[in-house]
Chain A
Amino acid sequence: MREALAVDKWICFAVVALLAMGLTMVLSTSYLYSQERFADGTYFFRKQLIALGVGLVGLVVCSFMPAATLRRLAYPLLACTFLALILVLIPGVGIMRGGARRWLALPGFAFQPAELAKLAMVFYLAHSMARKQEKIKSFSLGVLPHLMIAGALLGVLLLQPDFGTALILAVVLYLMLFIAGARLPHLLGTALMALPVLIYVMLTAEYRVRRLMTFMDPWRDPSSSGFQVIQSLIAFGSGQFWGRGLGESRQKLFYLPEAHTDFVYSVIGEEMGLLGALIVLALFSVILMRGLRLTAKIEEPFQQYLAFGLTVLLGLQGLIHMSVVMGLMPTKGLVLPFISYGGSAMVVNLAEVGILLGLSRRRL
């Protein structure tokens, strides 16, 4: 029992604190919306509670999985992810919401394969890089295969389209290659080569161009494309230092689109002020810094890479969500881990935390 609890207390605490804030915010932000749509204010809240329960069970299970078992899961997970990502593109199988096909209808709930893709890619990269550790300095043997597999994953994600997840995965990919010891010229060179592709992808979708323009000058046309950013800034800023108080957000009254998912951090800023915003930021930095500290302590490459990948995956999602909400990055539609409403993300994120905690056991 003592053995079982000998995990990183800091990460544990940060995640529990974020989950508590998250539940509060889901209730606060979704109440009126679900009242409006389903005539039941707690509809989203109850679904989130169920996801949390399932996620916590998953967390405990994952934390007890031996590293060898995890490593054996790498390829099956990758295969399943590809399958799911292709299935979701098929009309009739994948559910379309807001112009993107992102959900698979499973009995009882809808699942977002993109969330699984994040886990699968980190698993695959950790396993493959650990295996090819000596060849990582070689471009064709150490770098290219990872770029190709990850590139294929990004490709199917872009077909949904899900640019945000693809971006996160690309950053995680490069960070992991960097940590694994790939040569800097290889990394910079491929990144430069990917740039034209990136620009092409950006410019082919009209809404992405609009988002980009909006990002550069959100006040240019407050009535249309700049709307989301402006509303988010208004929400976040009007919280000022102490915030309006829990549940007192004005901006969640349908001024903010998706206040309970993509813009939950604005509402945190509005209701809990700078204090609440900084607490959330600090909790994410705790997860990130403790995760990186754990990475440094692990000697075994697969586990080290896995710990690093999961850590930056969680930290990056948080940072990007916050940056988007505060107008530091173009709008993406990314959720804030542990806080935003969303079952798939909750379950997968908690599984990732479980694995991290499992890795931390006996190492502290």
Chain B
Amino acid sequence: MRRTLQTSRVRLGVAKILFLVIFLVVGGRAFQLQVLQGDKLMRLGQRQHLKEWTVLPRRGAVVDRAGEPLALSLEAQSVYARPQRLQNSARAGRDLAGILKINPAELKRKLSAAKSFVWIKRQIAPGEARQIQALNSEGIGMFYEPRRYYPQGQLAGQVIGFVGRDSEGLEGLELRYNDYIRGETGSSVAERDALGRRVLVEGVEGLQIPPGGDIHLTLDTTLQHLAEKELEASITKYRAKAGVAIAVEPRTGEILALANYPTFNPNNYSKESAEHRRNRAVTDSFEPGSTFKTILAAAALEEGIVDKEDLFFCEEGKYRYAGRIIHDTHPYGWLPFHKILQVSSNIGFTKVADKLNKERFFKYIEKFGFGQVTGVDMTGEVPGLLRRPETWAEIDLATHAFGQGLSATPLQMAMAYAAIANGGFLMRPYVVKRAMSPKGEVLMENQPHVVRRVISEKTARSLASMLKEVTDEGGTGTMASVEGFEVAGKTGTAQKVDLVNGGYDARKRVASFVGFAPADDPRLVLMVLVDEPQVNVYGGVVAAPIFRNIARGALRHLGIAAKTPALIPAPVADTEIPLRRLPKRNSQTIVDAGATPDFLGLSLREAVEKARKLNLRVKMHGNGYVVKQSPGPGGRWHDNGVLVLNLQG
């Protein structure tokens, strides 16, 4: 008995030592993990805690020159459900299906899933969010997620571009000015749990992500609307493939409107093809055709080798030059130089070019900015194709004279004409006036920038008066004339190069008209280009009327007085142009009884409020933001006195 007890004591001692060793090992392991490897393990943890979930900064807005929003960042709500917490999932399903218009069967499957968290719908409209808020249902909730919204839809879509899911600008101004608009990044990480949801840990919520600043464009929404509408109408009428219309302020180089067809709505950028996204005004170059004769005329006048009244023999429509026959559409005999331009005689211009010589001609082509990018603050600009005179064959002097054998973007063409309009200065065009900080300070401002003087003011004036004749009786561009104003410009009808067979494709044409008004004090340069019109192909028929319609509305909108006041412009059919710029959104000014106030871009609630304040009868369609109103801003009231608003969102 005693011996047993002895063994027991020894064995107890052994057990004690064994346990002490284990305690030391465990304690040592704790020291190893927490002190020796603590940093490493902590970093490993942070990698998974902080990964993926980034809090995106709120992007700044893109507004037009009057503050009209073209791109906004909304805090769109996303709806989720916690199926296990739903009190009455059948009723919740019915309610949600009704509000969000989603398939009830799929919703039922989601709500009855054995999950603690499911997304119901991402980025819903504000109206839907309010309704869901009103349900106040346990187990249904919403998170804020930033969402880019383009209240004007397709308006200037290719210029503005679009933003990807991670709030990075992918095209257009959204890309070009991403650094200003996006807001600061980097520190914008939040902790997340293992299910990938954001965790509201102290310190993270307080983290202020600096939002992006707004950018103010030179674009004028009203002109943009007008340009797009007129362009689309004509393109539809002539069954053309594509088209561009650009309005530029000649003295500054500010782009007032830039319309592309086909149109692109950045609100659903992922569904639109690249064909629609392209900003053809800068990304595509075309053979200019006869509009290029003006460049030759400018060079010849500036070099003093011709005078307005110098006579040229136009060979009765057929002229052999460098082994080729050059034709005119109508045969002419002796014509003064200004008439050659008015009727756009190829033969006349061949003779002028021959007199000038190719080196001098080329110098002016370059001085007018061809073959180089304009430097506009848009993405994807191409310089166009220009061959050096050393490589020209003899015939090339003639073809360049009437705008073949080189290519230019519509914007290059517009800027060349702007140089004639403003007295001889090639300006660098721009579409963003200034970029603001989130606090409202100006971070960057684009000032008018003279690239170079191209021609003297005397030459410019002389050329402008010649171009005026083009729209007069007997010119090729009479359809571009605007009642009450003198319009200077030039038509162009270019054949397209046949990419398959070489040479020119007889059926494919590019019709254009580029000019400015008023001719003696130009305030607006307008370039219109229609690609592959079908019904009629001539610039004077297809493009000139677009020019006229846009110019007429634009001049009135810009408040430029007609030269002949007796001739009061008749109301333009189905074009509602405000007589003057009306107060912008949020303005409470009561507008004069004659004109309709501007509701575009307002939210449903803001629109209702404004209508109540102004005591207007309003009819609304849809949800979200006002994208269309009838009558348009500043337009005349309908007889029934009701304002119709179309909303989208």
Contact = CB atoms under 8 A, between A and B. Distances in A.
Contacts of A292: 12, 15-16, 19
The number of chain A residues touching the other chain, given as a range, is: 35 or more
Nearest to B117: A36
Interface string B180-222: 0000000000011111000101000000000000000000000
B268 interface: no
Nearest to A319: B22
Nearest to A273: B34
A277 B41 contact: no
A323 B26 contact: yes
A234 B45 contact: yes
A235 B20 CA distance: 26
Interface string B15-57: 1100110110111011101110111111011001100000000
Contacts of A281: 23, 26-27, 30
Contacts of A299: 5
A278 B30 contact: yes
Contacts of A230: 44
B67 to A, nearest CB: 45
A250 B202 CA distance: 12
Interface string B343-377: 00000000000000000000000000000000000
Given A239-B38, A278-B27, A269 B33 contact: yes
Contacts of A250: 45, 49, 191, 201
Contacts of B48: 234, 255
B452 interface: no
Contacts of A277: 30, 34
B42 A240 contact: yes
A57 interface: no
Interface string B522-534: 0000000000000
Contacts of A179: 8, 11-12, 15
A125 to B, nearest CB: 15
Interface in B124-139: 138
A326 interface: yes
Q: Which of B12, B15, B33 has the most CB of A within 10 A?
A: B33
Contacts of B84: 37, 39
A296 B8 CA distance: 8
A299 B45 CA distance: 53
A139 interface: no
Interface string A221-256: 000000000100111111111000000001101110
A296 B22 CA distance: 20
A274 B172 CA distance: 55
Interface in A273-325: 273-274, 277-278, 281, 284-285, 288-289, 292, 295-296, 299, 304, 308, 312, 315, 319, 322-323
A24 interface: no
Contacts of B8: 179-181, 304
Contact of A255 (B22, B41, B82, B194): B194
Contacts of B16: 289, 292
B235 to A, nearest CB: 55
A296 B42 CA distance: 44
A178 interface: yes
A144 to B, nearest CB: 19
A29 to B, nearest CB: 13
A133 interface: yes
A217 B457 CA distance: 83
Interface in B86-126: 116
A85 to B, nearest CB: 28
Contacts of B199: 253
B117 to A, nearest CB: 8
A312 B138 CA distance: 49
A4 B25 CA distance: 37
B12 A181 contact: no
A213 interface: no
User: B-side binding surface: helix, strand, loop or mixed?
Assistant: helix
A328 interface: yes
A266 B96 CA distance: 42
Nearest to A33: B116
Contacts of A236: 30, 33-34, 41
Given A236-B34, A253-B199, A281-B26, A178 B45 contact: no
A137 to B, nearest CB: 9
Contacts of B85: 39
B193 A255 contact: yes
Contact of B42 (A238, A254, A285, A322): A238
A36 B40 CA distance: 30
B12 A295 contact: yes
Contacts of B138: 39
Interface string A127-171: 000000100000000000000000000000000000000000000
Contacts of B20: 285
B592 to A, nearest CB: 59
A56 interface: no
B273 interface: no
B23 A237 contact: no
Given A251-B45, A278-B27, A315-B19, A240 B34 contact: yes
B194 A326 contact: no
Given A251-B45, A281-B27, A292-B19, A241 B33 contact: no
B9 interface: yes
Contact of B33 (A233, A304, A315): A233
B270 interface: no
B193 to A, nearest CB: 4
A254 B117 CA distance: 13
Contacts of A269: 30, 33-34
A237 B37 contact: yes
Contacts of A37: 84, 116
A35 to B, nearest CB: 10
A271 to B, nearest CB: 12
B194 A181 contact: no
B191 A133 contact: no
B419 to A, nearest CB: 64
Contacts of B640: none
B41 A288 contact: no
B7 interface: yes
A238 B45 contact: yes
Interface in A181-236: 181, 230, 233-236
B587 interface: no
B4 interface: yes
B26 A296 contact: no
Interface string B386-404: 0000000000000000000
Contacts of A32: 193
Contact of A240 (B22, B35, B116): B35
Given A133-B4, A234-B42, A328-B26, 4 more contacts: A181-B7, A236-B34, A237-B45, A326-B26
Nearest first, the 3 A-B pairs at minimum CB distance are: A237-B41, A253-B193, A254-B194
Interface of B: 4-5, 7-9, 11-12, 14-16, 19-20, 22-23, 25-27, 29-31, 33-35, 37-42, 44-45, 48-49, 82, 84-85, 116, 138, 191-195, 199, 201
23 contacts: A37-B116, A39-B138, A175-B15, A178-B15, A181-B4, A233-B33, A236-B33, A237-B33, A240-B34, A250-B191, A253-B49, A253-B199, A274-B30, A278-B27, A281-B23, A289-B16, A292-B16, A296-B12, A299-B5, A312-B15, A323-B26, A326-B30, A328-B26
